[in-house]
Structure 1
Amino acid sequence: MILDTPVQGQRFLAPEVIQTSEMDCGPAALKSILEGFGIPVNYGRLREACQTDVDGTSINTIEDLAVQLGLQAEQVMLPVDHILLAETQALPALVVVRLPNGMTHFLVVWGRFGNYLQIMDPATGRRWPTWRRFQDELYIHSFPVPAEAWREWAGTQGFLAPLSRRLGDLQVPEDRIRELIDSASQDLSWRSLASLDAATRMVAAIVRSRGLETGEQAGKVISRFYELNRHQAVPAEFRQSDASEFTQLPGEGLQIPETYWSVLPLASAESEAGEPADAQRLVLRGAVLVQPEAARGLSPDLEAALGEPEYRPLHSVWNALRQDGLLTPTLLLLAVALATMGVMVEA
């Protein structure tokens, strides 16, 4: 697809909003999205609502505010190779990236034009990188989830449709695609769908490096690695070393390298509140996005508050001079100064 179909109510170009401080990328990105869907907001009021501190703004806060301010927004984690697929319908989105200094940063991926993305970066404004270059910027997050919940989601079209598309992009025959997806879907555990996903991703990487041809050959390799990994031990297990990091433990029977798996088991996982003691947990890895959709109606009071004009210092000074009766003398002094400068230039 050369040009993505815009979401209803979405402007063609993302409004440019430049952050006013190093920690303001969240409010600036949210303001761009809101105004791109026809919801004007006051930047100062938005910064206050975001409660920006020394660590910036939480993505949960941005999601909540987007909903409160009239958008149908949802925070999601997606495998990187699903983001641009039409079947995923992931764009436009507020996306978390990692800066060269290691800090996270919010920006807006507004749309796709062939191999180029329209990005509104609060730090630099609008830019047009290629998808391959932008992938290196993405922040890949790891998050523990119940295995049952992941399997339930993986059995929906939100996962199966992009997976089928990826197999089709490798020119795997249609009958083999149906056979693979039907086989994986019959397994009520998480392993089969995760194995098929990982095998497809691995073969796609081999094809890109010209180590394998697309078509029947790619389909056979995917089938082989899928069968090898769906029944035996997964390539690696994880244990939670602290609140934010997961450490890999050696695994047996490694067939598909760990880097190609979007989900892996969490070893010795402690059950969350409300979960069965023996509930298995997985580590889900992917890009973090907030996906906005069409705007909802706002209450008149909220619309009036959001539409408050931006503060303009020069305009305030002008009004103050006029109210104090000093406007005319000020203009006369300015005229005299300009006339004096003109005489000096002529001399």
Structure 2
Amino acid sequence: MEPFDSSLDHQDDNYHQSNAGKNQLKLLKVYDILLKYSDENNQLSVKDIMNKLSSEGISTERKSIYQYIKLLESTGVDIITNRAKQNQYFIGNRQFELPELKLLVDAVLAAKFITEKKSSELIGKLVTANVSVYEAQKLQQQVLITKRPKTDNEKIYFSVNTIHQAITDKVQIKFKYYDISLIKEKIFRKSGGYYTANPVCLIWDDDKYYMVAYHDKHKKFTTYRIDKMEQVSATEFKAIPVPLTLNLQKHIEGIFDMYSGQQEIVTLKVKNDLIGAVTDHYGRQIEVIPYDDKHFSVKLNVQTSPTFYAWLFTFGDQIKILSPIHVIEDYKHRLEINLKNHT
């Protein structure tokens, strides 16, 4: 009997491992081709798939393509087969349908806190992962790109992630906060010193990202714009819990304008054709009461801030404050100041 050559056994193992690796690569390539180049209007035959593999220097047999398709289907990939003389295949259900994806793309484009560079990167990732190259072209043609103002703070994404993690870990953060000067330069508050905060939540409002923090010294919530925060980092100190006496939801509901103001129940008389404008701004849950043939009245829980008054001013004589009296007087006083400023 000839002696057993163990090296042959190892060579055989290496051969099978190498072959298995090649098959896995081909399987992934077939999946990638179906994702990129197939949809309901652009279906692929086995020959089409083989040609695309060949263009990348990968050769395979027809029966192997059938096996790869069956294997992909068994793992949950929705591959639709249009049976004919030459079967046609395409990816059916994707993570996002084209209309859903367009909504997401529009949201990214509209978001002021996302830089132009990051917007392009995010849209590229959304489109590449969810539609074929043909539907991606349609999407790009349908998206109207306007010169929307965008932040130039690329670090905002890292800041958001740091704050989010700090909230999860219940630790304090530190950061620098700045304003913009008349010559458009950053002026850091506290002479460039650090703020320390107990982060509570993140808010996206009016195309801007905000952090709500609990201010232990003043026993209240404070709001910061994240695009004006720099050098954000977590600390080793535990965050101070928010007292049960503070109402976070109430703070958030009144924070839409980021200006301080007294929370008030204000009654307005509004022309009937402005019902859409009022519900768009304050939600459909508001109670509307007929006032006369041409008007309705509504009670709103608002902050009587400059932004609230600016919203009122937009509609001129079509909206009138009915109560309370001190809010009417406050509004009149602000109008008089502005009138004097322009005379």
- Regarding TM over 0.5, the answer is no
TM-score, normalised on structure 1? Answer: 0.24
Higher RCO structure (Cα 8 Å, ≥6 apart): 1
Question: By percentage of residues, which structure has more strand?
Answer: 2
Question: By percentage of residues, which structure has more helix?
Answer: 2
Structure showing greater radius of gyration is 2
